[in-house]
């Protein structure tokens, strides 16, 4: 499992990516998908997830739909058109950052001039 500090900056892109692959998802469902897809290496805590979902919703990147299931209301999150735009830039930034980390931690180190 990765540290909370390491995951902090990547949570928004993870949420956006998952929601782009699914029509709608609720919080616990997002947590479970991430856990399964990362083979348990990325565990998202509710204390991090829900504030991020609320922030993305308030900023217009996500929309919500509430559904009554039994006697509980489940809130589903969906990506908006604006959210799709943020997804594109977020994914590009994450992939570029991954490449940059490879430069720092990889075996091929560029020579200093």
pLDDT (tens digit, 0 to 9) for every residue of the chain, 113 residues total? 778 887 788 999 999 999 999 999 999 999 999 999 999 999 999 899 999 999 999 999 999 999 999 999 999 999 999 999 999 999 999 999 989 988 888 876 666 65
Domain count, the chain: 1
What b/e sequence results for 61-81 when a residue is b if at least 16 CB atoms lie within 10 Å of its CB, and e otherwise?
A: bbbeeeeeeeeeeeebbebbe
> The pTM is what?
0.86
- Assigned domain for 103 exists: no
Give the residue numbers spanning the domain of 14: 4-90
- Assigned domain for 52 exists: yes
Q: Could you tell me how many residues make up the chain?
A: 113
- Assigned domain for 98 exists: no
């Amino acid at each position: 499992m990765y540290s909370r500090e390491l995951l902090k900056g990547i949570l928004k892109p993870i949420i956006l990516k998952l929601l782009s692959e699914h029509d709608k998802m609720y919080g616990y469902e997002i947590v479970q998908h991430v856990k399964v897809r990362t083979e348990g290496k990325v565990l998202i805590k509710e204390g991090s997830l829900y504030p991020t979902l609320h922030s993305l919703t308030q900023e217009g990147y996500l929309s919500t739909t509430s559904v009554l299931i039994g006697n509980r209301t489940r809130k589903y999150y969906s990506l908006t058109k604006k959210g799709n735009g943020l997804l594109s830039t977020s994914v590009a930034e994450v992939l570029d950052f991954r490449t940059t980390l490879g430069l720092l931690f990889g075996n091929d180190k560029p020579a200093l001039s």
